[in-house]
A and B are shown apart, each in its own frame.
Chain A
């Protein structure tokens, strides 16, 4: 391994599901993110390279890709941390259909979000007084611990249960459902509990904690899903769920 290395050998997935890895030589810079590398290839070597990004500063989650086998945000991944022997392998997020090159089709991810009833169902209108929520109530604490998810899909790509069970709603969708279960203003909990107790719901989780391990925001869907397991068990015993 030479200290005077001036370039990286970067393998990028090109094409659709039946594509292949192609290798490019990219100038090595002192401070460089994986997103910088991908962008350099697209601008200087092959403008047909398809990839996604937006904020470039670790806020939007759009740039998530598989880097040397791990799903992560490419804008927040320094090349110096991950390039082994001056090599990088970059592919699209796993567990999702592929559109082209490094851009995965996020639709199944968002469809499962809806299936898990991950949307807030309001109970009041603007004409009603504001609901007083205590930030330190146990329910609000539980919701706040999981609320920062920006649906980047990294956990979904990392989860083996998603890989093995095509019905599995996935860590992000279930994590969001848990925040809403804990939201006292929400009115859709009856349907939500049914949704997360159905096939592919919270009971499919095997607590691998790959989601928590990979989440760029250090969220813990495993814990949220454990909460859903408890809540659905309670719901079943109370006759709230037809299981």
Chain B
């Protein structure tokens, strides 16, 4: 057994969490994208083919999942934007606040989508 402390307290660092969210959202989107492309590709067989598939997504649970995807896309975008600024412009503080703001705005966008979708 390695000398591993009972808690990894540095993982309560908000920016570590923000990096994790960025990574997991990226992975989730990368897995979702081929399915998304496949679904859209159904239009090759005519509008009805795509239409049939989209009718299946009328389910409230699917709409909730879609809102989740919207959140993941938005949070990946805004977190990524924060990183692009950190890496390419002069250093600025307040990164924790910016990360929190990114998450909040993403949640808001996903909420608006859900309200419109239901």
Contacts and interface: CB of A to CB of B under 8 A. Distances in A.
Direct contact of A and B (CB under 8 A): yes
B91 A220 contact: yes
A242 interface: no
A230 to B, nearest CB: 7
B10 A70 contact: yes
Contact of B16 (A17, A20, A160): A160
Contacts of B23: 206
Interface string B74-109: 000000000100111001000100000000000000
Given A20-B1, A89-B5, A158 B10 contact: yes
Interface of A: 13, 17-20, 66, 68-71, 89, 91-92, 94, 98, 158, 160, 206-210, 213-214, 220, 222-223, 226, 229-230
Contacts of A89: 5-6
B8 interface: yes
A68 B7 contact: yes
Interface residues of B, number: 22
Contact of B2 (A17, A160, A210): A17
A91 B3 contact: yes
A213 B83 contact: no
Interface string B1-43: 1111111111101011001000100000000000000000000
Contact of B9 (A69, A98, A220): A69
Nearest to A14: B3
30 contacts: A17-B2, A17-B3, A66-B5, A68-B6, A68-B9, A69-B6, A69-B7, A69-B8, A69-B10, A70-B9, A71-B10, A89-B5, A89-B6, A91-B4, A92-B3, A94-B5, A160-B10, A160-B16, A206-B19, A207-B83, A207-B86, A208-B13, A210-B13, A210-B16, A213-B13, A222-B86, A223-B91, A226-B87, A229-B87, A230-B88
